Amino acid sequence: MRAARAAVAGWSREPHAERERVLRAFAGALEEDAGGLAAAISLETGKPPWEARAEVRSMVAKVEISIRAHADRCAPIPGGPAVTRFRPHGVVGVLGPFNYPGHLANGHIVPALLAGNAVVFKPSEQAPSVADRYGAAWLAAGLPAGAFNLLQGGRTTGEALVDHEGLDALCLTGSAATGLAIHRRLAGRPRVLLALEMGGNNPLVVGAVGDARAAAYHAALSAYATAGQRCSCARRLIVPIGPAGDAVLEELARMAGRIRVGPPDAQPEPFMGPVISARVAESLVALQEGLEARGARPLVRLRHLASGTGLVSPGLLDVTAVADREDEEVFGPLLQAIRVRDLDAAIEEANHTAYGLAAGLLSDDPAEYERFAAGVRAGVVNWNQQLTGASSAAAFGGVGLSGNHRPSAYLAADYCSYAVASIELPELRMPAEIAPGFDL
C-alpha cells in the first residue's frame, strides 16, 4: 500500500498518451505469454484449453476497449466557463475470483491504471500462478514501480487490504456473501469507492420457440459453460407447461447426458472441466440429493465422476414441485427447471429472487421479448442468445444482491475516477452586476 501511494503522483501525472502506450505494451506482453498464461489457467482452474485461450484473448482485447471507453466516458465535459474533468481516486484495491482469474480482475485493473490510479491486486488463492504471470506482463510493459502491486494470500490478506486506511477504492468480483461482508466492513468509510460485481440466481425463460433443439443448445451453453462457474450462468430454466416445454427439456436432457467432461489434458478435448475442488463437487451432489428429497424430479443426475477431484457431470432437475425453493447461486453445472403456465408467470418467477444479474428469453416472438425486457429485473437481458454471452463493449453488472450499481466492462471507466467540476475564467475582474447589500 505504501508503494502504491508513492507511485500515484507520478503515474497520474503521466500524459494520457503515455499511459495508453504502457497499456498497449502490456497487451503485447500478454500475447507473447498467451500459451503459458492459458496453460496456467487450465492448471489451476481446470478449464479446457479452448476456454483458457479464449480468456487470454479477452484479457488482451480489454486494453483497446478500455481506451475507447475512457475516451467516451471520461473526456472533459465543456459547458461555457464550466468544465467537468475526471481524476483518479488514488490507490485502488482489486479482489479477484477463481473462475476467470485473469479476465475478471483485468477488467478492473486496466481501466483503473488507465485513469491514473495505482493498484493493489489480491487474486484468488486458488489461482496464484495465473496472477504471477499477469503481474510479470505489467513489469514487461514498463509500468512504473509501485503502480501495480501483486498481493498473494487468502481471506485474512483480503481483509487486511479492505481494512487498510490507505485505500481509496475497492473493486470486487466475487460471491454475494463476500460482497456483503465487504460492504459491512466499509460501513462508515464513504470516501472509499466500492464497486461490487457479484453473482446471480439467473433465469432463462423459454417462450414461443419453434426449434426445441436450438433452445436446448442455448440452455446447455448457458448452464454448463465453465462447469457452471460463471456468474452469468443460468441457474433456473423456466419453461411452459405442455408439449413445447417438454420437448425442450427432453432435448436438453439428451444433450446434457452427452457433454464431454474431463481434465484439461483429456483427448478429445472436453467441453467442461472440473469445478474448482472436490469439496465443491461433493456439495453439489448433496444439494441435488436434498432437492430430490423435497420433491425434485431428476431429468439428468449430476454425478461426481472421480473421487478427490472436481469432475462432475451436468445435472438437470425439475424442481417445479419443490416448495420454498432457496434463492441461492448454485455455482456449478446443476440446472433447475421450473414449469409455468404462461409468459406472465415466467416473468414473475424470473423476478422471484433477491439477485438481478442476468436474465434471458428464448422466443421467436418479438412481442414476447418486448414484454420480457420491460418486466424482468436484471442488469444483463439477452434474447435468443446464451445467458453467458456478454460483451466487454457493453455494460456488465446487476442489481439487488448482484451488485451495487457499479456496472463493469465498458462502464468500468465510470468508477475508476471521480468528477471535478470547475467554473474557469482567464482573468479576474469585477462583475457587471454587484450583489445586493454590498456598499463599494
DSSP secondary structure letters along 320-363 = TT-SS-------SSEEEEEEESSHHHHHHHHT-SS--SEEEEE-
- CA 128 distance to own-chain centroid: 19
Please give the helix or strand (H or E) that residue 90 lies within, else none: none
pLDDT > 90: percent of the chain: 98
DSSP string, 246-273: HHHHHHHHHHHTT--B--TT-SSPPSB-
Evaluate if residue 215 carries a pLDDT over 90.
yes
Band (pLDDT 50/70/90 cuts) for residue 310 is very high
With CA atoms as reference, report the closest residue to 352 among 384, 383, 319, 386.
319
Q: Which residues contact 263 (CB under 8 A, 6 or more apart)?
A: 46, 270, 273, 274, 309, 311
> Looking at the DSSP assignment, which residues form a beta bridge with residue 85?
420
CB proximity list for 326: less than 8 A, separation 6 or greater: none
Confidence grade of residue 390 (pLDDT, cut at 50, 70, 90): confident
Q: What is the pLDDT of residue 389?
A: 77
Task: Dig out the grid coordinates for 253 from the structure.
Answer: 436432457
231 carries an active-site annotation: yes
- CB-CB contact of 113 with 8 (8 Å): no
Mean pLDDT of 55-73: 97
| Number of alpha carbons in the 13 Å side-chain half-sphere of residue 297 | 9
Choose, from 197, 251, 329, 368, the residue flagged as catalytic: 197
At 190, the pLDDT band (50, 70, 90 cuts) reads very high
- Residue 74 appears among annotated catalytic residues: no
Burial of 314 (0-12, 13-18, 19+ CB in 10 A): buried
Beta-bridge partners for 422: 83
139-167 pLDDT, tens digit per residue, is: 999 999 999 999 999 999 999 999 999 99
Which residues, 6+ apart, have CB-to-CB distance to 64 below 8 Å?
24, 27
Q: Which of 95, 162, 157 is nearest to 123 (CA)?
A: 95
pLDDT tens digits, residue range 96-116? 999 999 999 999 999 999 999
Distance of CA 68 to the CA centre of its chain: 20
Mean pLDDT for 314-337 is 97
Catalytic residue among 20, 44, 74, 231: 231
Give dist(CA 142, CA 192) in Å, integer: 28
Distance (Å, whole) CA 63 – CA 67:
6
The helix (run of H) or strand (run of E) holding residue 77 is strand 77-79
pLDDT in tens, 40-60: 999 999 999 999 999 999 999
Classify burial at 191, counting beta carbons within 10 Å of its beta carbon; exposed 0-12, middle 13-18, buried 19 or more.
Answer: exposed
pLDDT in tens, 348-364: 999 999 999 999 999 99
80: alpha, beta or left, given left = phi > 0 and alpha = psi -120 to 50?
left
pLDDT of residue 167: 98
Does position 121 have pLDDT exceeding 80, yes or no?
A: yes
- Burial of residue 357 (CB within 10 Å: 0-12, 13-18, 19+) is buried
- Residue 368, pLDDT score: 98
Residues 6 or more apart whose Cβ sits within 8 Å of residue 35: none
Distance, in Å, from the CA atom of 205 to the CA atom of 304, rounded to the nearest integer, reads 28
Question: Rounded mean pLDDT of the chain?
Answer: 97
